[in-house]
Amino acid sequence: EVQLVESGGGLIQPGGSLRLSCAASGFTFSSYSMNWVRQAPGKGLEWVSYISRSSSTIYYADSVKGRFTISRDNAKNSLYLQMNSLRDEDTAVYYCARDEGAIVPGDLITPWGQGTLVTVSS
């Protein structure tokens, strides 16, 4: 069974840093691109970042560019999101999601993990 399990969320003060992790199992992790997508409380989905299978291609949403860094360790079947200079508006559930598309980011995002909540507040 394909599983994606996020961890690392929590309460952090504005300006702080946090590192999210996503543990993948049930599939050959190195064969798939991955995404982070977030959802603020009571709000819609917002795409955050994409990383290709070999980490050679990385994209970010303008809202996080320069502050967030996506990475992966194929040997550990893990995806990461390093979040720096956190702002109130970064408060959200962060989902790790597999991208089955082979050509462009976001073509075929499935499945999704259950998410980890990040709360930025003083």
Partner 1 sequence: QSALTQPASVSGSPGQSITISCTGTSSDVGGYNYVSWYQQHPGKAPKLMIYEVTKRPSGVPDRFSGSKSGNTASLTISGLQAEDEADYYCSSYTSSNTVVFGGGTKLTVL
Write out the residues near partner 1 by the rule CB under 8 A.
Answer: 35, 37, 44-47, 50, 59-62, 95, 101, 104-115
CA-CA distance, 116 to 122, in Å (whole number)? 19
Q: Which is nearer to partner 1, 31 or 110 (CB)?
A: 110
Nearest-approach distance from CB 79 to partner 1, in angstroms: 15
Least Cβ distance, residue 111 to partner 1 (angstroms): 8
Task: Find the shortest distance in angstroms from Cβ 37 to partner 1.
Answer: 8
- Among 114, 88, 110, which residue's Cα sits nearest to residue 15? 88
Contact 78, 65 (CB under 8 A): no
